């Protein structure tokens, strides 16, 4: 890979500018807006803020999130997002603003995906043009835009980082490079559990693919070093994934029937919200995931495959055949896995790999298809650049990069203003730490995600919250939910006393027409002491004895 002193800073500047433009208006609404219009979006904001808060106060309790009190280890009931939270620490420390912390991680995720993809393809092709085209295709893919409410799924940079480390290892197997590969896979797993599994599968496949090319198959040291890299990854992630093994032992796992619901068909590979490709959506009907890679990457990938494997290929292209073949095979396997259990490969992985049963969405294998096509598009762009006259290369740059920029554009992102902080939450922030319950207590399946409204606002006070929402709900919370939904009935009070709740918040604006009846029922309840009241909500203290 040729090195130029100004190339890396230039790539970083390009990443910053592209991220600001393609994620507009996040940069100008940094601390005042976000994806607060969905349960997943609110959960992600809370999750990032909790990890950043825990890391700056008591890192040893990071898994003991402030939901589902009195349950412990509640952060492991869903994706922990440890890397995203760590990334948000500087912004959280300066602002204590959950929206600023979350938006910072979103911006960083896009920028990191661009820079690392650029580095990977620059190393493989030696072409700055190919690296730029690939970085735009993968860093700002339709898949990434569709997951703004899932911060862990935005951490796609880990996949390209793991591939970069894998290629470095297979080119020159050393203990240091094996350790770097293990570290890259571990970091990817801490950034996103799904991508950690994908990184392990890709790296293992790559080690086998390139290991049987040439003399490596007969070199025992190569295989022992590869196993050492896997061991490094396992040692690093084991302490962080132990809580997931615990809840899996309690019966929490994803069935193949559930995986079928989150599998994809061919329509998903043509779904995109990018402006250049949006016209296809009405023609598709229904789809499960947004996986269209754009028109340019498949065209350039096809050009790379044809130029590389044709008989008249030159020595430089013949040398690239193992790498191009690897990414073609990776794309094919990823498509196969994304089709779900009935296609066969996903079922095999589910029944073979430990912790794989914690995953439920085969559709997310589609991100590997986008990644493979992006890398291959870099090879295609590099091959074209080397085969045209030098005086026409500027036009090729303008054409390919311009098409990549236009193809990556989705227009202004759909941000929603952050909800105002009610004085009730300001008051809670100054009170002694004690369990809190907020009502109404949502119990209907279509409404349970609304507990994230309380979770989001808990970022302003961090009191232990009996309410909660996550992929896994502990048994005690499941049993308490129908009782708490009857508040202020006696069965709800049994739970309130059982969890030793000290604070109760009632949201009159959510109760609507039922609010006056609730107010009347608790007006003379000697178990509650009114602390502060606003038109929207009221805060009460639960009394242990007489007033």
Query: Does residue 41 sit within a domain?
Result: no
Residues 6+ apart with CB under 8 A from 279: none
Bond before 488 cis per omega within 30 degrees: yes
Query: Does residue 69 sit within a domain?
Result: no
pLDDT at position 405, please?
A: 95
Residues 378, 476 share a domain: no
Residues 455, 384 share a domain: no
Residues 350, 211 share a domain: yes
Query: Does residue 523 sit within a domain?
Result: yes
Could you list the pLDDT tens digit for every one of the 547 residues in the chain? 455 678 888 889 999 999 999 999 999 999 999 999 999 999 999 999 999 999 999 999 999 999 999 999 999 999 999 999 999 999 999 999 999 999 999 999 999 999 999 999 999 999 999 999 999 999 999 999 999 999 999 999 999 999 999 999 999 999 999 999 999 999 999 999 999 999 999 999 999 999 887 666 668 899 999 999 999 999 999 999 888 777 655 655 677 888 898 999 999 999 999 999 999 999 998 888 999 999 999 999 999 999 999 876 777 778 889 999 999 999 999 999 999 999 999 999 988 887 777 788 999 999 999 999 999 999 999 999 988 878 788 899 999 999 999 999 999 998 999 999 999 999 999 999 999 999 999 999 999 999 999 999 999 999 999 999 998 899 999 999 999 999 999 999 999 999 999 999 999 999 988 889 899 889 888 899 999 999 999 999 999 755 4
Q: Six-digit token pair at 240? A: 């962080």
Residues 446, 366 share a domain: no
Q: Six-digit token pair at 516? A: 């006056």
Residues 6+ apart with CB under 8 A from 1: 122, 123, 126
Provide the whole-model pTM. Answer: 0.93
Residues 467, 377 share a domain: no
Query: Does residue 529 sit within a domain?
Result: yes
Q: State which of 404, 439, 460 marks the end of a domain.
A: 404
Q: State which of 372, 404, 436 marks the end of a domain.
A: 404
Compute the Cα dihedral for 506, 508, 511, 517 and give only its sign. Answer: positive
Asked if 167 contacts 124 with a C-beta cutoff of 8 angstroms, the reply is yes
Compute the Cα dihedral for 131, 136, 139, 141 and give only its sign. Answer: negative
Query: Does residue 43 sit within a domain?
Result: no
Q: Which domain holds residue 126?
A: 11-31+97-404
Q: Please, where are the H alpha helices in 285-440?
A: 296-309, 315-319, 321-338, 345-352, 366-386, 393-407, 423-429
pLDDT at position 217, please?
A: 62
Residues 330, 207 share a domain: yes
Query: Does residue 76 sit within a domain?
Result: no
Residues 376, 461 share a domain: no
Residues 342, 199 share a domain: yes
Query: Does residue 49 sit within a domain?
Result: no
Residues 356, 300 share a domain: yes
Query: Does residue 416 sit within a domain?
Result: no
What is the separation, in whole angstroms, between the first and last Cα of the chain?
76
Residues 436, 381 share a domain: no
pLDDT at position 364, please?
A: 95
Residues 246, 356 share a domain: yes
Number of domains in the chain: 2
Residues 465, 394 share a domain: no
């Amino acid at each position: 890979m040729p090195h130029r002193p100004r190339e890396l800073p230039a790539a970083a500047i390009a990443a910053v500018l592209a991220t600001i433009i393609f994620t507009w208006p996040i940069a100008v609404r940094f601390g005042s807006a976000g994806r607060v219009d969905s349960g997943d979006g609110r959960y992600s904001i809370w999750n990032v803020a909790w990890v950043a808060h825990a890391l700056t106060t008591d890192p040893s309790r990071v898994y003991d999130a402030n939901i589902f009190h009195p349950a412990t280890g509640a952060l492991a009931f869903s994706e922990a997002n440890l890397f995203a939270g760590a990334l948000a620490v500087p912004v959280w420390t300066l602002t204590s603003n959950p929206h600023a912390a979350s938006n910072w991680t979103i911006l960083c995720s896009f920028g990191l995906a661009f820079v690392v993809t650029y580095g990977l393809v620059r190393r493989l092709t030696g072409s700055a043009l190919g690296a730029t085209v690939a970085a735009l295709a993968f860093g700002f893919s339709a898949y990434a835009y569709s997951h703004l409410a899932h911060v862990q799924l935005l951490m796609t940079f880990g996949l390209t980082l793991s591939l970069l480390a894998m290629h470095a290892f297979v080119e020159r197997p050393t203990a240091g490079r094996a350790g770097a590969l293990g570290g890259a896979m571990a970091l990817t797993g801490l950034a996103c559990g799904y991508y950690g599994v994908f990184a392990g599968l890709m790296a293992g496949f790559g080690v086998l693919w390139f290991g049987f090319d040439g003399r490596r198959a007969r070199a025992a040291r190569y295989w022992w070093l590869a196993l050492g890299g896997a061991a490094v990854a396992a040692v690093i992630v084991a302490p962080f994934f132990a809580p997931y093994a615990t809840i899996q032992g309690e019966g929490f796992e994803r069935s193949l029937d559930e995986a079928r619901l989150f599998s994809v068909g061919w329509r998903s590979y043509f779904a995109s919200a990018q402006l250049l490709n949006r016209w296809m959506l009405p023609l598709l009907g229904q789809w499960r995931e947004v996986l269209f890679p754009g028109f340019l990457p498949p065209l350039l990938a096809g050009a790379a495959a044809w130029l590389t494997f044709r008989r008249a290929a030159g020595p430089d292209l013949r040398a690239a055949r193992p790498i191009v073949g690897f990414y073609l095979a990776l794309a094919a396997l990823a498509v196969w896995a994304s089709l779900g259990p009935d296609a066969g490969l996903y079922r095999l992985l589910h029944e073979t790999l430990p912790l794989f049963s914690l995953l439920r969405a085969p559709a997310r294998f589609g991100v590997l298809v986008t990644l493979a096509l992006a890398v291959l598009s870099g090879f295609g762009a590099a091959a074209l650049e080397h085969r045209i006259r030098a005086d026409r290369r500027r036009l090729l740059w303008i054409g390919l990069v311009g098409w990549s920029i236009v193809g990556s554009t989705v227009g202004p992102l759909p941000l929603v203003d952050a909800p105002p902080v009610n004085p009730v939450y300001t008051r809670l922030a100054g009170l002694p730490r004690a369990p809190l319950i907020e009502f109404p207590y949502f119990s209907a399946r279509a409404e349970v995600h609304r507990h994230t409204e309380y979770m989001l606002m808990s970022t302003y006070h961090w009191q232990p919250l009996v309410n909660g929402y996550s992929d896994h709900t502990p048994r005690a919370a499941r049993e308490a939910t129908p009782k708490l939904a009857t508040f202020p009935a006696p069965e709800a009070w049994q739970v309130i006393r059982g969890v030793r709740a000290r604070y109760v918040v009632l949201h009159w604006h959510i109760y609507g027409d039922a609010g006056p009846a609730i107010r009347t029922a608790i007006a003379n309840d000697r178990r509650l002491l009114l602390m502060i009241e606003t038109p929207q909500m009221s805060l009460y203290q639960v009394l242990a004895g007489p007033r």
